[in-house]
Amino acid sequence: MTIKGVLFDFSGTLFRAEPTESWLRAVLRDADLTLPERELTEAADALEAVGALPGGVVAPRLPEGSEDLWRRRDSSAEGHRVMYTAISRQVRLPDARLHDALYDRHMLPAAWWPYPDTAEVLDALCERGVAVGVVSNIGWDLRPVFREHGLDRYVGAYVLSYEHGIQKPDPRLFATACDALGIAPEDTLMVGDDRRADGGAAALGCAVHFVDHLPASQRPEGLRPVLDLVG
């Protein structure tokens, strides 16, 4: 097989969300609110425990009756916001408006850090003439994140679930990305951290490679094996 195109997941693959505590600190700062350090740490821990940070690694604790919305959360921007702010509201914060502010914060480029080898790998793929796409289950436009970090120039297509009303592992989302890049599925490699969602590309005939969803400092070279797979 000759790989002519590589599709990447976003969160946990190319980028990592900021830690929950810095997420909360930033929102409190912007709201001109302060909490005693112990209370701030406790609130951050509670948000972490319920999985309130979109893109985090903790399995969310769902509010009662929200299971159906959770299953289809990435198919619309509205559903994504409603779901994650409902998860966040399980934690008491000093101002109820902070829950929406937390959601808004997580969409900012400053809330996302590329993995140490992201730029290197994307640049190497483009140098080899390999097309690059991003396929993400997400409820908001991540393009500004790539632009802010100087990585947009490497990406030939963004296929985002909320824009198509389709979520991974549905093969149609991967097919849309392959069509956008002009690459046949059998010549495409999908790289992601979720074996169920990203593994759906295999049903289309794509090769699949998984990475670990770890903090950036613990995964300095997790993407480099992709270059060996491409050859």
- Condensed to tens digits (0 to 9), the pLDDT of residues 128-178 reads 999 999 999 999 999 999 999 999 999 999 999 999 999 999 999 999 999
Q: 91 or 58: whose pLDDT is higher?
A: 91
Q: What percent of the chain has pLDDT over 70?
A: 100
* Residue 183: closest CA among 211, 154, 162, 157: 157
Q: Provide the pLDDT for residue 58.
A: 82
Q: Please report, to the nearest 10 degrees, the dihedral formed by the alpha carbons of residues 75, 27, 43, 67 taken in order.
A: -10
Task: Calculate mean pLDDT across residues 195-209.
Answer: 97
Looking at the structure, do residues 186 and 199 belong to the same domain, yes or no? yes
Looking at the structure, do residues 75 and 174 belong to the same domain, yes or no? no
Number of domains in the chain: 2
Q: Which domain holds residue 23?
A: 17-110
Q: Provide the pLDDT for residue 1.
A: 67
Looking at the structure, do residues 31 and 105 belong to the same domain, yes or no? yes
Q: Provide the pLDDT for residue 172.
A: 98
Looking at the structure, do residues 155 and 218 belong to the same domain, yes or no? yes
Looking at the structure, do residues 87 and 138 belong to the same domain, yes or no? no
Tell me how far apart the alpha carbons of residues 159 and 166 are, in angstroms, rounded to a whole number: 10
Looking at the structure, do residues 93 and 128 belong to the same domain, yes or no? no
Which of 81, 110, 139 marks a domain boundary? 110
Q: Provide the pLDDT for residue 200.
A: 98
Task: Calculate mean pLDDT across residues 184-200.
Answer: 97
* Residue 55: closest CA among 220, 170, 213: 213
Contact 173, 166 (CB under 8 A): yes
Phi-psi label, residue 205: left if phi above 0, alpha if psi -120 to 50, beta otherwise: left
Query: What is the average pLDDT score of the chain?
Result: 97
Q: Provide the pLDDT for residue 28.
A: 98
The per-residue b/e assignment along 147-170, b for 16 or more CB within 10 angstroms, e otherwise, is eebebeebbbbbbbbbeeebbbbb
Residue 208, pLDDT above cutoff 90? yes
Task: Calculate mean pLDDT across residues 109-122.
Answer: 98
Tell me how far apart the alpha carbons of residues 30 and 223 are, in angstroms, rounded to a whole number: 34
Residue 184, pLDDT above cutoff 80? yes
Looking at the structure, do residues 105 and 119 belong to the same domain, yes or no? no
Element (H, E) at 43: helix 37-50
Residues 112, 100, 23: CA angle, nearest 5 degrees: 35
DSSP 8-state secondary structure symbol assigned to residue 11: B
Confidence of residue 27 (pLDDT cuts 50, 70, 90): very high
Looking at the structure, do residues 181 and 77 belong to the same domain, yes or no? no
Which sign, positive or negative, has the C-alpha torsion 95, 99, 101, 102? positive
Q: Provide the pLDDT for residue 231.
A: 80
